[in-house]
Amino acid sequence: MKRLLRRHERKARYFAVGVWNTLFGYGVFALFCGTARSASDHYVYTLAASQVLGTTNAYFMHKHFVFKTAGFAVLREYFRFTSVYWAIFVVNAFALPAVVRQTGLGPILSQGMILPLTIVLGYLAHSRFSFAATGGASTPV
């Protein structure tokens, strides 16, 4: 059992940090949607604004608690990390309006439906790209 836990320790840390990041990012998105001046304010703009805050929070959480990288590759890591998040943002920016249109649900519930896809994409990309070859202490998946 210990070997199994050790083998999947990083995935468990990713899950725990992911829960925090999801709550943080989703909360910021919902807050921005709730404070928009009117219902006509486009939710993709609030998605972009919440993306900036959520990505910065997520980088520091992943760096220090999930992948535990060290060294002076912070700028390279941050660039790689944010490029993954912006790629996921593009997928999300196309998916969100499509889900809203197809389901008739509002943007907050629709965004919740998209989360599982973005979580899996994020783990795969961060473990294989963002923190994989930065010279830090990260290990393969």
* Distance set, CA 48 to CA 40, 42, 73, 79, 136 (Å): 16, 11, 26, 17, 30
State the residue range of the domain holding 92: 2-130
**Is the model's pTM score more than 0.85?**
no
Residue 135 lies in a domain: no
**Is 79 part of any domain?**
yes
Residue 77 placed within a domain: yes
Q: Is 138 within the bounds of a domain?
A: no
Residue at 20 is within a domain: yes
Number of domains in the chain: 1
User: How far is Cα 89 from Cα 136, in angstroms, rounded to an integer?
Assistant: 26
- The answer to whether position 65 is within a domain reads yes
- Tell me the pLDDT tens digit for each residue of 76-107: 888 888 899 889 889 888 999 999 999 999 88
- The dihedral through the CA atoms of 75, 72, 128, 67 has a sign that is negative
Whether 68 is in a domain gets the answer yes
Q: State residue 141's pLDDT score.
A: 42
Alpha carbon distance 28, 132 (integer Å) = 29
> Which one-letter DSSP state was computed for residue 131?
T
Look at residue 139 and tell me if it is in a domain: no
